[in-house]
């Protein structure tokens, strides 16, 4: 049986399943695989570190000890008791690495407040540009709806095809 003789609904099911599997594989590589390597993905949600880290990029952050952070390093840290994550350049270090002063690359002034070592997630190791726009909370809720809609449609089409095959086999046995 060639591709041209396969019914249209089976083609849709096959193509849709392949697309869904590829989508899940990409998400697995972008989110889960870095965790296995000890990296934490974080989304850049501002333009203040451009062009080094563009808005919507996903940066992968490796945990870093405070004593290993130097002036000029880029760090990712929690702000406002963990409500927001920022990635900024260290421009000054307090006594015994007790705190850090940071600045965005596009700004001329130091950011207000000191960053304590317990707020530091680590240093960005690498990034994937623009994919963070797909993984942001806003986009994720829309993609979640789309994902479940496609999954339900594919499940319904697969169930329909399976029932149809059983009916055909049952009719063949009777004759």
Per-residue pLDDT tens digits for 67-92: 999 999 999 999 988 789 999 999 99
* Whether residue 30 is found in the same domain as residue 63: no
Model confidence pLDDT, tens digit, residues 86-132:
999 999 998 888 999 999 999 999 998 899 999 999 999 999 888 77
CA–CA separation, 96 and 99 (whole Å): 8
**Residue 171: inside a domain:** no
Residue 137, pLDDT above cutoff 70: no
Q: What would the pLDDT profile of 21-36 be if each residue is shown by its tens digit?
A: 888 888 788 778 888 8
Residue 122 CB burial class (10 angstroms; 0-12, 13-18, ≥19)? buried
172: in domain: no
Is the pLDDT reported for residue 6 higher than 70? no
Contact in structure between 86 and 74 (CB atoms under 8 Å): no
pTM of the full predicted structure? 0.67
Q: Domain of residue 159: give its range.
A: 8-36+137-165
In this prediction, residue 95 carries a pLDDT of 85
């Amino acid at each position: 049986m060639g591709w041209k003789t396969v019914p249209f609904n089976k083609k849709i099911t096959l193509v849709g399943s392949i697309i869904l599997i590829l989508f899940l594989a990409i998400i697995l590589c972008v989110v889960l695989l870095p965790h296995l390597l000890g990296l934490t993905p974080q989304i850049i949600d501002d333009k203040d570190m451009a062009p080094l880290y563009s808005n919507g990029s996903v940066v992968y952050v490796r945990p870093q000890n405070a004593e290993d952070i130097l002036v000029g390093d880029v760090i990712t840290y929690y702000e406002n008791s963990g409500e927001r994550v920022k990635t900024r350049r260290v421009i000054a270090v307090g006594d015994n690495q007790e705190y850090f002063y940071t600045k965005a690359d596009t700004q001329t002034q130091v950011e207000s407040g000191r960053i304590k070592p317990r707020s530091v997630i680590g240093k960005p190791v690498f990034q994937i540009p623009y994919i963070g726009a797909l993984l942001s909370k806003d986009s994720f809720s829309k993609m979640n709806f789309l994902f479940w809609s496609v999954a339900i449609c594919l499940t319904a089409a697969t169930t329909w095809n399976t029932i149809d095959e059983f009916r055909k086999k049952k009719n063949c046995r009777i004759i």
